[in-house]
Amino acid sequence: MKQSKKVVARIIILILALFTVIPGTVSQKVYAEPGGSESNQAADASKDDSNKKEEKKEEDMTPEEREKKAEEDAYKMEIQSNGWKNWPKGPGTYGEAAIVMDAGTGSILYAKNIDEHEYPASITKVLTSLIALKYGNLSDKVTFSNDCISFMQPGDSSVGLKEGNVISLEQALYATLLASANEAAYAVAENVGKNAGHDYDWFIQQMNEECKSLGGKNSNFVNANGLHDDNHYTCARDMALIGREIWRYPEFLKICQEQSYKIPASDTTEEHVFPQHHKMLIKENKNYYQYVVAGKTGYTSNALSTLITLADNGNMKLVCVVLRTHGVNIYPDTKNLFEYAFNNFQKIQVADEKKPDEVEKFISAADSQSAVSAQSDGSEDTESVQTGGNEYQPLEDGYVILPKDVSYKDIDYEITDVDEDTGEGTIRYIYDGHQVGSATAEFTDKYLQKVSTRKERVDSKPKDVDNSGDSKKNGGKSSAKSIWKNFLQKVEAVWDFGQKKFAGKSSTEKYMIAGGCVALVILIFSLIVLLIRRRR
C-alpha cells in the first residue's frame, strides 16, 4: 500500500513539473529560438500585436468587409477529398459545402463538408418535382387554394398565380423549376397529395421518405418550396443523391432545358411568361456551360446561395451541389468543379478489362435474369450498394470511375448479392476505401459451388453450442486487430478534431495545450500500470 502511495505521489509531482517547465520552454521557443536574432523576436512580437489589432478591428468592419472575410474563410475550408490517397486535388469553393458525384455509379469525386447540415432554400423544389413526377401525371389539374398563396411575403419568388387559378401539373412544374415560384411548389404538393387520397402533409412525408430511400441521412424537409424554417435542412451528399435520381426522369430534364415558358390565358388564369433562372443553362449568359442539362437555383438570407446542377459531356454524367455560397461565386464554383471532374477522371468499362477469376461473363443490370421488375416510373430497382457509408441504387453499372493516373489493376473488388438460382450477383469495385463502380456478372460454376459449400457449412453449424473457446483460439488475433484498428481510427478522429479546434491558437497556446496533453497521457498510462501491479 505504501509503495502504491509513493507511485501516485511521483505521478503528481511529474505532472506538476511538466506544467511548470512547459510554459517556460514555450516562452523560450517563441521568443528566443536557437540562432534567432533580436530582430526576429521583435518581428514575432509585432506580428502578435498585429493579430490582436485585426481581431479587434473585425468588430468594426463594414458589411462589405465582413462579407469579404466570410468569402475568404469559406474558400480556405478543408476539402476532404484532397486528403484522399492518390486522389486529384480539387479547387477551392466559396461555398461552405460542395460535392461532385458520378450519376451512374454514385461515386463521390469531390467532397467538401458533404454531410454538414445546411439550409437548401429553393433547391428543395428539385425533390418536390421528383415526388410530383413519381405520384402524379403531367395532365393532372392543379387548383390554387388560399393556402397556396396566403404564406407569401413581399420579395418571395413568384409568378403571380392567384387563388382560384387552375393549371396543369406540367405548367405548375415549369413555374416551380424555371421561375422558382413558391406558390406553384405549394400547389403542386397540395394537389398531388389530394389526388393520392391524402394531403399536403402526406406529400412532405413522401419527400422525407424518398430522400432516405435514396441513401440520405442528414436531411429533414418541412415544406415544398424551401422557404426558411430552422427544421428544414439538408446536406450536399443528400442533395446529390436526390439529383442523380433526376436522371431517371426525362420530363424533369426537358422542363429544365427550356429558356422560357408561357402559361397561356384560360377561363381561370391569366397569361404568365417567365424565363430560365439557372444561368449556366442560358446561352447568352457569361456563366453558360455547354455540358449542363438541368439544375435549380436557391437563395435565402439564412441559406445564402445554393445550387444543384446536372452535366453530361457525352462520357460522364455528373451531379454538382454547392451550398451556403458567399458572394456571387456559385456559378464559377460549379463550373470549376465540373472541369475538375471531367479533366481528372476516366470512365473504364469493366468488360474491356481482365475478368476476375470468379466471373463467367459480365451482363447489364437490365438484362439480368434476377433483376426486379421495373417500377411504375420505368426504372430498374437494382440492388442497393454502399458508397461513403450511404446506400444508393446504381443507375448504371459495368464501369468504374477512376483518377486518370490510376490503373484498373490498382482497384480491389468484392462480390455480393449472389443468386444461386441464376448464378448472378454484383461486383463492387473499391479504390483506397472508396467505391468507384459496380458490375452485374454471371459467375463460374466453380465459384458458385464454393458459395454453396460455404453456405451449407454455416447452415449446418450447431447454433446452441458455445464456441467461445474456439472463438478465442481462432478469432483472437482478428478481434485484437479489429480493436486496434478501431482505436487508431478514434485517435485519428481526435487528432483531426484537435487540428480544427486549435488552428487559430497562438504558438504559446499550442505548446501549452500539447504539454497538457502529454501530461494527461502520462498520467493515464501510469495509472494503468499501477492498477496492473496492484492486481498482481
Pair (252, 285) in one structural domain: yes
Q: N- to C-terminal Cα distance for the chain?
A: 13
296: Cβ–Cβ under 8 A, 6 or more apart, which residues? 122, 123, 125, 126, 177, 180, 256, 278, 307, 308
The sign of the dihedral angle between the CA atoms of 226, 228, 229, 230 is: positive
In the chain, the number of structural domains is 2
Active site residue 150: no
Q: Give how far Cα 115 sits from Cα of 231, 277, 303, 466, 491, Å.
A: 16, 27, 15, 42, 21
Question: How far apart, in whole angstroms, are the C-alpha atoms of residue 159 and residue 181?
Answer: 6
- String of DSSP letters for 410-424: G-EEEEEEEETTTTE
Write down the catalytic residue from 129, 180, 305, 368.
Answer: 180
Question: How far apart, in whole angstroms, are the C-alpha atoms of residue 163 and residue 150?
Answer: 9
CATH number at residue 211: 3.40.710.10
User: What size, in residues, is the chain?
Assistant: 536
Tell whether residue 404 is among the known ligand binding residues.
Answer: no
At 118, which helix (H) or strand (E)?
none
Domain encompassing residue 371: 353-460
Pair (285, 374) in one structural domain: no
**107-126 pLDDT tens trace:** 999 999 999 999 999 999 99
Phi-psi region of 97 (alpha: psi -120 to 50; beta: other; left: phi over 0): beta
The 3-state DSSP class for residue 102 equals strand
Write down the catalytic residue from 81, 122, 157, 219.
Answer: 122
Active site residue 125: yes
At 249, which helix (H) or strand (E)?
none
The 3-state DSSP class for residue 308 equals strand
Pair (334, 360) in one structural domain: no
Q: Are 344 and 88 in contact (CB under 8 A)?
A: yes
Count CA within 13 A, CB hemisphere, residue 482. Answer: 5
Q: Are 265 and 271 in contact (CB under 8 A)?
A: yes
At 258, which helix (H) or strand (E)?
none
At 280, which helix (H) or strand (E)?
none
At 63 the pLDDT is 84
Question: How far apart, in whole angstroms, are the C-alpha atoms of residue 62 and residue 305?
Answer: 21
* Residue 125 covered by a domain: yes
Q: What is the pTM of this model?
A: 0.71
- String of DSSP letters for 319-367: EEEEEEE-TT-HHHHHHHHHHHHHHHEEEEEGGGSPPPTTEEEEE-GGG
At 508 the pLDDT is 61
Count CA within 13 A, CB hemisphere, residue 511. Answer: 15
Pair (287, 417) in one structural domain: no
Pair (324, 382) in one structural domain: no
* Residue 324 covered by a domain: yes
Pair (140, 206) in one structural domain: yes
Pair (329, 384) in one structural domain: no
Question: How far apart, in whole angstroms, are the C-alpha atoms of residue 157 and residue 298?
Answer: 10
Domain boundary among 344, 373, 407: 344
Longest distance between any two alpha carbons in the chain, whole Å: 98
Residues of the chain with pLDDT under 50: 20-43, 53, 56, 366, 368-393, 465-479, 500, 503-504
At 321 the pLDDT is 99
Pair (141, 230) in one structural domain: yes
Write down the catalytic residue from 125, 279, 317, 335.
Answer: 125
29: Cβ–Cβ under 8 A, 6 or more apart, which residues? 507, 511
* Residue 291 covered by a domain: yes
Pair (267, 383) in one structural domain: no
* Residue 511 covered by a domain: no
Active site residue 438: no
64 C-beta neighbours (distance < 10 Å), count: 8
Pair (233, 101) in one structural domain: yes
Pair (265, 398) in one structural domain: no
* Residue 215 covered by a domain: yes
What is the DSSP code (8-state) at residue 382?
P
Q: Are 386 and 435 in contact (CB under 8 A)?
A: yes
